[in-house]
Amino acid sequence: MDEQNDNSLNNNEIEEEHKHSLRNIWVSIKRFASLHPDSDGNATIARIEEGVVFRGTNVWILAFAIIIASVGLNVNSTAVIIGAMLISPLMGPIMGIGLAIGTWNFVLLKKSLKNFAYMVIISLLASTLYFWLSPLSDAQSELLARTSPSIYDVLIAFFGGLAGIVAHSRKGEKTTIIAGVAIATALMPPLCTAGYGIAIGELKYFLGALYLFFINSFFIALATTIIVNYIKLPKHTEISPQRGKKIKRTIVILTVLVCVPSIFFAVRIIRESAFNSNAIAFVNSLEKNPLLTNTSILSSNRTYGGRDSSEIVLVVAGNTLSAEQIDNLQNTLSEFSLDKTKLSIRQISSASDDEDEVVGDLLKKNEQLLQQIENYKTHFDQMNASAIPNKQIAKEIKVQFEKIHSFAFGNMEYTNVSSLSTDTFPTVIVHWSDSYTQQDTSLFNSWLKVRLEKKNIRISHKIVVK
């Protein structure tokens, strides 16, 4: 009996020692990753409250930043967009909202919400006015990227907001981190895209971009509230536990409601990507399919319309496929996880000898054309290497050189009259709509050589005769 009691005591001692070791490890981890040692509560509150202010200088800075971002989106310039995000004061009121909720400062909350609303209105007005006046109306990739938010944007905004408030709460403010957060969370581009949607009357662009902006703003504010509570900044006002629970419950409900649509968009993006990959694999597999031994695939097209309305269209020539063969091809879609995808086959019929001859001629001409393309591939590659993307360059010139009316480009052959030797150089002829100065031409020459990465380009300047 005494021996059993001794064993029980030993087991309890071992268990207690084990718990104590785990507790020590947990304490060490908490101490290692703690945000408290170098936090500065008063300075954090002062910095964020200063950023909430929106009047005078900040109004003009915001308007200028919005125009810069709109131009960057319009001409598809990532560098310009990043520059606009760095000078934008939009982050201030958003973090002010998070701080106000975290410290129960309802006066600051009201001020932050009011200034935030002013900023959004001014941003929408400025961007709408710019895109309404801009002659460039095509939606570039940088604009379209802001119209389909997903759960990944939620993650970027939330963790970017965490990084931002942690940087703000340190004794020495980490300006590089805050600048990085401004770029990553991208508050300006969605507002500019929303203005673009208003300017062209496209509700889809407006709602998609505004939703992305709301996601970014909401989760930056949420991250601020979480860190403010974690580092235990002093409460501005004492409220009852019941009211505190109600506010927290409201935050949780809003978080879920904001996330739900983004999850839907993310699922669609993932499914569409999987569909495209599987469809490409299916079409590639048809080259070895015995059903198509005497049939050539002239073209293929795929359309994703959701689980039940996606379609792959094949245009084929050669032996006519029977209904049974087409059904067999349809059944093979399941091997590529495309069970509910519709397979449509458009055939160039070979029901008669005349049609056989026509198809044969078409295939022969097709082979000859492919051979010609292969023979001239090197020549075309050289031409493409020296070509100028005229439309994109024209858009950029429109923004930066207002006096230029038009330009022409080509590879011209220059002949030396003394030696009769010839050289071919890429040449640009620029037509100016107004008198130009030496400074104008020098600036344009330097810009074009850097933009095209062509040092040997020849540039000729002329004035358009009115």
User: Which residues, listed in sequence order, are joined to residue 141 by a DSSP beta bridge?
Assistant: none
Reading the block at residue 452, the tokens are 């095209």
Sheet holding 311-318, edge to edge: 295-303, 311-318, 342-348
Q: Where are the alpha helices (DSSP H) in 303-462?
A: 323-332, 353-375, 377-386, 390-400, 438-452
pLDDT of residue 35: 59
Residue 333, both tokens = 């879609």
Residue 405's H or E segment, with its range, is strand 404-415
Q: Which residues of 358-380 are buried (b: 16+ CB within 10 A; e: fewer)?
A: ebeeeeeeeeeeeeeeeeeeeee
Q: Which residues pair with 152 in a beta bridge?
A: none
Amino acid residing at 459: I
Please give the Cα distance from 121 to 129 (Å, whole number).
12
Token pair for 2: 């005494």
pLDDT tens sequence for the chain (466 residues): 555 555 554 556 666 665 666 666 655 555 555 555 566 677 778 888 888 888 888 888 888 888 888 888 877 777 777 777 777 788 889 889 999 998 888 899 999 999 999 999 999 999 899 888 877 655 555 555 556 677 778 888 888 888 878 877 766 655 566 666 666 667 888 888 888 888 888 888 888 888 888 888 899 899 989 988 888 888 888 888 888 888 889 888 988 888 888 887 777 777 878 888 888 888 888 877 777 777 777 778 888 877 677 888 888 877 777 888 888 888 888 888 888 888 888 887 544 444 555 555 556 666 666 666 665 565 545 545 555 567 777 877 777 787 888 888 777 777 777 767 777 778 888 887 777 777 778 888 887 777 777 777 888 888 775 5
Contact 219, 154 (CB under 8 A): yes
> Quick count: other Cβ atoms within 10 Å of Cβ 384?
8
Question: 98, exposed or middle or buried, with CB in 10 Å at 0-12, 13-18, 19+?
Answer: buried
Instruction: Report the SS3 class of residue 338.
Output: coil
* Degrees, nearest 5: CA angle 292-295-300: 85
Listed in order, strand segments (DSSP E) in 92-171 are none
**pLDDT on residue 114:** 93
The token pair at 75 is 């001409």
Cα(173)–Cα(379) distance, integer angstroms: 57
Contact assessment for residue 109 and residue 97, using Cβ atoms and an 8 Å cutoff: yes
* pLDDT confidence of residue 353: 46
- With 0-12 / 13-18 / 19 or more C-beta atoms within 10 angstroms meaning exposed / middle / buried, residue 45 is buried
Contact 314, 300 (CB under 8 A): yes
Residue 85 neighbours by CB under 8 Å, 6+ apart: 65, 69, 182, 183, 186, 187, 188, 189
Give the pLDDT score at 387: 54
CA distance 195 to 189: 10
Are 21 and 65 a contacting pair, CB within 8 Å?
no
CA 295 to CA 345: how far, in whole Å? Answer: 12
Q: What is the pLDDT of residue 352?
A: 45
Instruction: Classify residue 172 by its DSSP letter.
Output: S
